Amino acid sequence: MSVIGIDMDGVIADFPSLAMKSIKSIFGIDLTMEDLTVPNMAGIIYPMLPDGVRSLYKTPGELYDIICHPRFFEEIEPYEGAIEAVKRIQENHDVVFITKRLEWQYCPIGKANWLQKHFGDMPRKVIMIDNMESKGLVAVDILFDDDPRAISSLEYSVGVLVNRPWNRSFREEATGIYTIDDFKVAPDIIDDILSGLYIY
Ligand SMILES: [Mg+2]
């Protein structure tokens, strides 16, 4: 049995789709997935806001108070097949959800409720960190994550990058990193990665 770390947003929870809908209805900004070239949606729209609106927020992170209503996280859809994939991993390994807290007051309880909604009483461990680079300090055997900052920070774990539009430029430049196109395949490749058989 190994310890498998799994990120939430952008890996099993489709945060971007719901956030894009919210951004469109609140700010009238119509983003597509391909506009998400970096893993920082608030940072992407911050410069697009009219000056009078932007000046209300000192940092892009403060926008999450507006983009995310109190029950926002509970309403996020899982990526197709992601919940089933986590459950399959759980059959043979210890799963730890390693997730960054957004600058938004309802984020921790929202994430806890989301896990309860989709995994019920399945035993689980959650590590919530405040900045992406801190993921590097957590020792798991493998971490599945979509954020280049997380993958680059790993000191004690093998990283597997889940391919998304916002990590494309990193993927094109990075060498020697494991990548997968869909988290659904994660349960099938864990043993190969741990035994060194999985090809980059
Ligand atoms: Mg993520």
Per-residue pLDDT tens digits of the chain, which is 200 residues long? 899 999 999 999 999 999 999 999 999 999 999 999 999 999 999 999 999 999 999 999 899 989 998 899 999 999 999 999 999 999 999 999 999 987 777 888 999 999 999 999 888 899 999 889 999 999 999 999 999 999 999 988 999 999 999 999 999 998 888 999 999 999 999 989 988 777 76
pLDDT of 123: 82
Q: Do residues 102 and 128 touch, judged by C-beta distance below 8 A?
A: no
Query: Residue 108 class from Cβ within 10 Å (0-12 exposed, 13-18 middle, 19+ buried)?
Result: middle
* 142: nearest Cα among 163, 124, 154, 157: 157
Q: State how far the Cα of 160 lies from the Cα of 198, in Å rounded to an integer.
A: 11
| CA-angle at 35, arms to 30 and 37, nearest 5° | 150
**Distance (Å) from CA 51 to ligand 1 centroid:** 29
Q: Do residues 18 and 67 touch, judged by C-beta distance below 8 A?
A: no
Using alpha carbons, list the distances in angstroms from residue 59 to 45, 70, 126, 133, 162. Answer: 11, 20, 27, 19, 28
Q: Do residues 79 and 90 touch, judged by C-beta distance below 8 A?
A: no
**Distance (Å) from CA 52 to ligand 1 centroid:** 31
**Distance (Å) from CA 174 to ligand 1 centroid:** 18
pLDDT of 121: 86
pLDDT of 73: 92
Q: State how far the Cα of 4 lies from the Cα of 97, in Å rounded to an integer.
A: 8
**Distance (Å) from CA 127 to ligand 1 centroid:** 13
